[in-house]
């Protein structure tokens, strides 16, 4: 039977507030089929957010020239952050010496709220698991290389979000000079956030968890990513309209 792109929501997922439970084996992603389904969805005029698949992300990252730039965009990719959320990260936002490492993210909306403005029970922080050991090792190497020793020290001392946007545009131009192009346009820092959400869904993470990790206020904002599965679903729920 041909593998489906429709992820199963069954199995154990380890969350920040859960006890330590065995991690299940990640669902293998058929990237050739995932690419084909994305192209079909986009050609039909779907409102699907523009996202890249993991091999495309890793290829694009290779065109960033130094560790600083690469780690910035790896953070967007591994945690699904908005660009201003990433720029606000400090060293103590990363909790790594726990069974499930995670990063504490303050959204721009939450950071700008005044005293008493939050809803009851709203901490203004979301916890995003960091499940890639290579990323965690990259974090440790990054803070050591750039002497980020204070708990409240920013990871990137950047005055404007135009700086990482320029980094990305330059990387895309380098790729193009090598004959490497991407079918998804335009590619912006927010593309990494869309790619994070889609990668989780393709890997079988339930939509409610993706919603929490991305910080979507409504589940409908997360469900838009599932449009890519509409045609794939038809292969698994065949309906015969003939009597013969």
CATH number at residue 151: 1.10.443.10
Encoded tokens for 199:
């990668």
38 is catalytic: no
104 is catalytic: no
Residue 210 lies in a domain: yes
How many domains does one find in the chain? 1
Per-residue pLDDT tens over the stretch 81-123: 999 999 999 999 999 999 999 999 987 555 555 444 555 556 6
Going by C-alpha positions, the residue among 111, 205, 79, 91 that lies closest to residue 155 is 91
Supply the range of the domain harboring residue 80: 31-234
Per-residue pLDDT tens over the stretch 18-38: 333 445 556 678 888 888 888
Residue 222 lies in a domain: yes
Name the catalytic one among 24, 109, 118, 236: 109
Mean pLDDT of 190-210: 95
pLDDT reading at 221 higher than 90 = yes
Going by C-alpha positions, the residue among 78, 51, 38 that lies closest to residue 190 is 51
pLDDT reading at 7 higher than 90 = no
Tell me how far apart the alpha carbons of residues 63 and 170 are, in angstroms, rounded to a whole number: 8
Residue 4 lies in a domain: no
Name the catalytic one among 68, 91, 174, 216: 216
pLDDT reading at 17 higher than 70 = no
Mean pLDDT of 63-84: 97
Say whether 201 sits in a helix, a strand or coil. helix
216 is catalytic: yes
Give percent of the chain with pLDDT exceeding 70: 79
Q: What is the pLDDT of residue 8?
A: 39
Name the catalytic one among 106, 193, 194, 199: 193
Residue 194 lies in a domain: yes
Residue 141 lies in a domain: yes
Residue 9 lies in a domain: no
Radius of gyration in angstroms for the set of CA atoms belonging to the chain, rounded to a whole number:
19
82 is catalytic: yes
Q: What is the pLDDT of residue 1?
A: 35
Residue 111 lies in a domain: yes
Name the catalytic one among 51, 63, 213, 225: 225
Residue 20 lies in a domain: no
Buried b / exposed e along 37-59 (16+ C-beta atoms within 10 A): bbeebbeeeeebbbbbbbebbee
**194 Cβ contact partners less than 8 Å away, ≥ 6 residues apart:** 49, 50, 51, 225
């Amino acid at each position: 039977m041909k593998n489906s792109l429709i992820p199963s929501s069954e199995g154990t997922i380890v969350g920040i507030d859960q006890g330590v439970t065995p991690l299940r084996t990640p669902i293998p992603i058929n990237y050739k089929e995932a690419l084909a389904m994305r192209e079909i969805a986009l050609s039909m005029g779907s409102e699907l957010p523009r996202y890249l698949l993991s091999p495309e992300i890793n290829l694009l990252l290779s065109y960033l020239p130094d560790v600083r730039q690469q780690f910035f965009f790896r953070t967007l990719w591994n945690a699904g952050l908005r660009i201003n959320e990433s720029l606000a990260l400090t060293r103590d936002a990363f909790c790594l010496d726990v069974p499930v490492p995670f990063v504490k993210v303050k959204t721009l909306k939450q950071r700008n709220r005044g005293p008493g403005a939050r809803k009851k029970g709203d901490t203004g922080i979301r916890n995003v698991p960091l499940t890639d050991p290579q990323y965690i090792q990259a974090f440790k190497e990054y803070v050591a290389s750039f002497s980020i020793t204070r708990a409240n020290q920013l990871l990137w001392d950047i005055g404007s979000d135009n700086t990482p946007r320029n980094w990305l545009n330059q990387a895309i131009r380098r790729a193009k000079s090598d004959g490497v192009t991407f079918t998804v346009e335009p590619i912006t820092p927010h593309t990494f956030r869309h790619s994070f959400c889609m990668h989780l869904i393709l890997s079988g993470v339930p939509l409610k968890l993706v919603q929490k990790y991305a910080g979507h206020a409504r589940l409908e904002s997360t469900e838009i990513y599932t449009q890519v599965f509409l045609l794939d679903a038809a292969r698994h729920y065949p309906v015969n309209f003939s009597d013969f």
